[in-house]
Structures are given as structure tokens and as C-alpha cells.
């Protein structure tokens, strides 16, 4: 069996938010880090921003997870049958209501988190909000994994 076949046999988990600049990337990186190779971890946006927020990159780097090579991608990429995820986890309310219909059977979960990109204040206050959201996402993923990661 080739590595590609083994890779394709793993459940695909897609984290979805509107801009695909912060929360979905943090969740993608955290699932990959916490679950090892159990899943293919992905992220996308319903209206991608075109960038990954630098403070998300920094917050994840603080815990040893690299997002530097991540790119903001559109949900459209995952609508073809060969790329359809097994599970879509929306991490913001707007993405949950604007999520397209996928071909086939796709499970859905909704974990809403505040968008740290909209927080104002000093650089340190903004960094702290990114850390807080990162920690909330990590807790949600850890709970889901400890409950059997069902979908």
C-alpha cells in the first residue's frame, strides 16, 4: 500500500471560518499536533482573507507549532468529490451559516470562538487575545479527542 493510499484512508477534518486567517489555522495546527497522524487536518474560509495573521503565527510558535507555511484557502477547494472532508468543524458563527453543501455524507460540528483579529488595544493585549483563543481551541480539541473524536 502506498503512502498516498494510507494518507487517503485517514479521516479528513476541515476547520472552517470566514477569513481563514486565524482560528481555523490554529485549529488545523493543534489537531495535527495533538492527534498525530490519526487525521488529515485542513483549514479553509468561506471568504478567505488571502493571508494568515502574524499574531496567530506567533501564538502558535510559542507552543512549538509552525504556521509560517500555511496559506489562506477557499472552501471551494474542498467541494469536489475527491477532496470532500469527512468532518467540517466551523469555528465561527458566520462560517457555520454560510457553509456550502458538500457532496456525499459530511459530518458537522460547530465550535464558535471569538475572532482575535478584531480585538483592539496594545500589541501585547492583542497577542494575549490570540493566546486565549489558541488555548480555548486547544481545550476543545483535547476534549473532543478524549471523548473518542466521534463524528
What is d(CA 85, CA 68) in angstroms, rounded to the nearest whole number? Answer: 23
pTM of the model: 0.90
Stronger pLDDT, 68 or 54, i.e. the higher one: 54
Asked if the structure places residue 108 within a domain, the reply is yes
Within a domain: 65: yes
Catalytic residue set? 17, 92, 99
- The per-residue pLDDT for 135 is 98
Residues 6+ apart with CB under 8 A from 92: 17, 18, 23, 112, 113, 115
Q: How far is it, in rounded angstroms, from Cα 149 to Cα 142? A: 9
* Range(s) of the domain holding residue 110: 3-146
Q: Is 61 a domain residue? A: yes
**Residue 151 maps to a domain:** no
pLDDT at 149: 92
Query: Between the CA of residue 42 and those of 70, 74, 78, 118, 127, what are the distances in Å?
Result: 10, 11, 10, 23, 24
Number of domains in the chain: 1
Q: What is the CATH number of the domain that holds 88?
A: 3.40.50.2300
The answer to whether residue 58 sits within a structural domain is: yes
The whole-number pLDDT of residue 8 equals: 65
- Which range is least confidently modeled, 35-49, 74-88, 91-105? 91-105
Residue 29 located in a structural domain = yes
Strand 12-17 versus strand 40-45 pairing type: parallel
Instruction: Classify residue 25: in a domain, yes or no.
Output: yes
Q: What element of type H or E holds 53?
A: none
Q: Is 59 within the bounds of a domain?
A: yes
Give the C-alpha separation, 149 to 143, whole Å.
8
Amino acid at each position: 500500500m502506498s503512502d498516498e493510499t494510507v494518507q487517503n484512508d485517514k479521516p479528513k477534518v476541515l476547520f472552517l471560518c470566514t477569513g481563514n486567517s486565524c482560528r481555523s489555522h490554529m485549529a488545523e495546527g493543534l489537531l495535527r499536533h495533538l492527534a498525530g497522524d490519526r487525521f488529515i487536518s485542513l483549514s479553509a474560509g468561506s471568504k478567505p482573507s488571502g493571508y494568515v495573521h502574524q499574531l496567530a503565527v506567533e501564538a502558535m510558535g510559542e507552543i512549538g507549532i509552525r504556521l509560517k507555511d500555511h496559506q489562506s484557502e477557499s472552501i471551494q477547494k474542498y467541494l469536489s468529490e475527491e477532496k470532500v472532508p469527512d468532518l467540517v468543524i466551523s469555528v465561527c458563527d458566520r462560517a457555520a451559516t454560510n457553509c456550502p453543501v458538500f457532496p456525499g455524507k459530511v459530518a458537522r460540528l460547530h465550535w464558535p470562538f471569538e475572532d482575535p483579529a478584531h480585538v483592539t488595544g496594545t500589541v501585547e493585549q492583542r497577542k494575549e487575545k490570540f493566546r486565549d483563543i489558541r488555548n480555548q481551541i486547544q481545550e476543545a480539541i483535547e476534549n473532543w479527542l478524549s471523548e473518542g473524536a466521534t463524528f
